[in-house]
Amino acid sequence: PQPDWRRDSDFARHLWPMDPDDREGAWRILVEAHALGAHQSRIDELAAKWGCDDTDADNYAKRVGVTIQRDGDAWCATGPGFQDIQASPIGFGEPKLEAMANLARALGMSAGKMWAPTFRDLLEKAA
């Protein structure tokens, strides 16, 4: 049998469109790859290369409708339909990228082709 490139890759877990000039697309790839279990070192490498840091995370979060607040020693990411910690999907993490990835995972992020639901799609569905 042929090897599955998604399992053998340290990053590829899903198929994404890529436009190097699209900040939202870069963040989408990083958040979704993290949520799907890509290797942390590869995520960190691409985040640094693309300038996706905690300051820039606020811009992306605002565009997709995520609220990120400090909660103790971690960031807490919540979606637009957030009610409370018991009733709503949330994501905790350090840095903000990890918090959003954990929110994506809590919303049911799953690997697929380019037409699979995106992080933004999951947020809109949960609202």
Rounded to whole angstroms, the Cα distance separating 31 from 49 reads 15
Cβ-based neighbours of 107, under 8 Å, separated by 6 or more: 79, 89, 119, 122, 123, 125, 126
Task: Tell me the average confidence (pLDDT) per consecutive run of 10 residues in the chain, 127 residues long.
Answer: 56 72 92 93 94 96 96 95 89 97 96 84 90
Rounded to whole angstroms, the Cα distance separating 112 from 120 reads 15
Q: Please check whether residue 70 is in contact with residue 47, taking contact to mean a CB–CB distance below 8 angstroms.
A: no
Model confidence pTM above 0.75: yes
pLDDT at 11: 63
pLDDT at 8: 61
pLDDT at 3: 54
